[in-house]
């Protein structure tokens, strides 16, 4: 496997990012150093800690969630983990049974590209339930990224970006093929898919794979951009040859290839947006007027405010449990959105009973609020 440790191979990364926020305090950039460490700096590029976590091997991927930082150890076929303060290092947190490359983490699972099995593996967040090949036909997945609906990966050997549903179904190994040339890293936000090309570009397309911009950000020739990450204000990338991390605005302007310097050999990248927010509803329940069977009445609404000290990443608003066919989410400005501190969004629900009498259900909103999901009672009478 030694031949795989060239620049294009080691540019593995993972990040779960969304749009619409200003960086809160205690937000960080993390990177994997192929010489054997996890580094960290503030999101403004200050306070560089090259040996934030001193690893026992040469990591190729890095990912974070609200509690831990994770990294891949391909030489030991394992994934390591530590607390976000750098303590509690466990080099063999997950035995992957393969050659782990890129990493991505959501609220339930750890995902990794497997360079030996040619797929994507997955485990529960506590390291149990390892599935070595959760998604097949993911060739050399150096880059791995998640949003609220899909898994994205780079197929460096076939020059394409793959995509599958979060449950592993509907895999499209060549989801984006045009404009992809030896893709090394991939990132995703609420509007776009981003990927790096070692020839010197950061490229971008819409979430559906359309409107590819192959020259979105030009990087100085010879830097060979690798891992890519994105938050709601910036695109970040690593330059392994120069030992720097670059950054540009979301529209591609203001590129600074030396945003963070002196980081040795960065090969993977992840962005921490800071502490999670708190979802606070304007009402604990919604009551609807009596409604004729088979007809929908006017919508009632509930507003969700972020009352926490960090960004609130909203997933989806759904009607769950009870008489689910009697209530309809007719409009929703919350799903797949990040609320900054004190920001709000609104969900509109209509009542259309299919039977007479008391009808009840629950409006469930999932997010990264530690107390999620948020549940709001729905009640109406059919007659």
Distance CA 47, CA 91 (A): 25
pLDDT at residue 359 is higher than 90: yes
Q: Does one domain contain both 94 and 179?
A: yes
- Of 253, 272, 291, the residue at which a domain comes to its end is 272
pLDDT at 285 over 90: yes
Residues 222 and 264 in one domain: yes
The residue written with tokens 């040996």 in the block is 51
The stretch 222-233 carries a mean pLDDT of 81
Q: Please state, rounded to an integer, the average pLDDT across all residues of the chain.
A: 85
Check whether residue 311 and residue 254 sit in a common domain. no
Q: What is the CATH number of the domain that holds 32?
A: 2.120.10.30
The structure's pTM equals 0.71
Mean predicted confidence (pLDDT) in 288-295 = 95
- In a shared domain, residues 248 and 333: no
Same domain, 80 and 164: yes
Per-residue confidence band for 308, with pLDDT thresholds at 50, 70 and 90: confident
Greater confidence (169 vs 141) lies with: 169
Same domain, 217 and 356: no
* Backbone Cα Rg of the chain: 22
Residue recorded with tokens 């330059």: 239
Instruction: Give per-residue pLDDT as tens, 102-159.
Output: 899 987 899 999 877 778 999 998 999 999 889 988 877 888 998 867 899 988 766 8
Q: Do 112 and 18 share a structural domain? A: yes
Mean pLDDT comparison of 202-211, 268-277, 353-362, highest-scoring range = 353-362
| End residue of a domain, out of 223, 256, 272 | 272
157 φ/ψ angles, rounded to the nearest 5 degrees: -75, -30
How many domains in the chain?
A: 2
The answer to whether residues 347 and 241 belong to one domain is: no
Domain that holds residue 284: 279-382
- Residue where one domain finishes, among candidates 240, 272, 304: 272
As a whole number of angstroms, the distance between CA 71 and CA 31 comes to 9
Residues 134 and 173 in one domain: yes
* Domain CATH code at residue 346: 2.60.40.10
- 69: helix, coil or strand? strand
């Amino acid at each position: 496997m030694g031949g795989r440790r060239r620049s294009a191979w080691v540019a593995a990364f993972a990040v779960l990012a969304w749009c619409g926020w200003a960086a809160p305090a205690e937000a960080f950039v993390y990177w994997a150093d192929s010489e054997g460490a996890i580094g960290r700096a503030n999101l403004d590029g200050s306070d560089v800690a090259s040996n934030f976590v001193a690893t026992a091997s040469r990591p190729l991927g890095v990912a974070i969630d609200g509690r831990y930082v994770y990294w891949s150890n391909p030489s030991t076929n394992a994934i390591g983990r530590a607390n976000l303060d750098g303590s509690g290092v466990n080099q063999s947190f997950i035995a992957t049974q393969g050659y782990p490359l890129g990493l991505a983490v959501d609220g339930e699972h750890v995902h990794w590209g497997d360079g030996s099995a040619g797929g994507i593996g997955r485990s529960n967040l506590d390291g149990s339930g390892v599935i070595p090949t959760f998604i097949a036909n993911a060739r050399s997945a150096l880059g791995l990224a998640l949003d609220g609906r899909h898994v994205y990966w780079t197929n460096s050997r076939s020059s394409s970006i793959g995509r599958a549903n979060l449950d592993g179904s509907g895999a499209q190994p060549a989801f984006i093929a045009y404009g992809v040339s030896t893709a090394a890293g991939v990132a995703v936000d609420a509007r776009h898919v981003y990927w790096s090309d070692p020839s010197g570009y950061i490229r971008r397309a819409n979430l559906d794979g359309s409107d590819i911009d192959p020259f979105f950000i030009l990087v100085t020739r010879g830097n060979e951009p690798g891992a890519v990450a994105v938050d709601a204000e910036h695109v970040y990338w690593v330059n392994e040859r120069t030992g720097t991390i670059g950054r540009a605005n979301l529209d591609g302007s203001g590129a600074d290839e030396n945003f963070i310097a002196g980081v040795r050999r960065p090969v993977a990248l992840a962005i921490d947006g800071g502490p999670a927010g708190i979802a606070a509803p304007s009402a604990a329940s919604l009551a609807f007027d009596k409604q004729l069977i088979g007809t929908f009445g006017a919508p009632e609404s509930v507003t969700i405010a972020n009352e926490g000290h960090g960004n609130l990443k909203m997933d989806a608003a759904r009607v769950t449990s009870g008489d689910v066919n009697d209530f309809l989410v007719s409009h929703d400005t919350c799903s797949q959105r990040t609320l900054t501190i004190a920001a709000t969004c609104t969900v509109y629900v209509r009542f259309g009973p299919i039977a007479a009498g008391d009808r009840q259900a629950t409006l469930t909103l999932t997010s990264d609020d530690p107390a999620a999901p948020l549940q709001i009672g729905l009640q109406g009478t059919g007659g």
